[in-house]
Copies of this chain bind each other. A is one copy, B any other.
Amino acid sequence: MHDFPAPEILLPHRVSYGETDTMGYLYYAEYLHLFERARSEFIRGLGMSYRDVEARGIMLPVREASCRYRSPARYDDFILIRAGIAEVRRASLVFVYNVMDENRKTILAEGMTQHAVTDRNGRPVRMPVWFADLVSGACGTSH
């Protein structure tokens, strides 16, 4: 549980029946939904919701996503999704995630998503100043 960038947020989540599969596990695609929820809360914590970011004309489509599944979560498990920004470039961002058990003792999964910075039409653009300011303080001194 080291080397996670600061600041970070922790999103609590209860695993629902609909998120599980025949194996009884939280289905592997659902982790990407949880990552989205967590980074949305992270951005909100910076002072502007992602909805407002889009309303200002900036979109952050996912260019790459990955997840390592260490230990399954099951129906009704109470889990925590930790999110932070690992990297800010001129036209891209990298978020990182941990999915943890309720006691923060076990990392159930680790993930990342890389995002382009684009205009409304999906064309890559250089990060505007207001957005760079928003994320600049949020990127990532490891701890």
Pull 14 A–B residue pairs with CB atoms less than 8 Å apart, ordered by A: A16-B36, A17-B22, A17-B23, A18-B21, A22-B22, A23-B59, A28-B32, A28-B62, A28-B65, A29-B30, A29-B33, A63-B68, A65-B66, A66-B67
Question: Do A50 and B76 have beta carbons less than 8 Å apart?
Answer: yes
Q: Select one of B61, B66, B69 contacting A72, CB under 8 A.
A: B61
| Smallest beta-carbon distance A27→chain B, Å | 5
Residues 30-74 of A contacting B (Cβ, < 8 Å): 30, 32-33, 36-37, 40, 49-51, 59, 61-69, 72, 74
For residue A122, which residues in chain B have a CB less than 8 angstroms away from its CB? 72
Per the CB 8 Å criterion, the residue count for chain A at the interface is 38
Question: Do A21 and B23 have beta carbons less than 8 Å apart?
Answer: no
For residue A4, which residues in chain B have a CB less than 8 angstroms away from its CB? none
Q: Once bound together, how far apart are the Cα atoms of A17 and B75, in whole Å?
A: 15
Name the residue on B nearest A26 (C-beta): B22
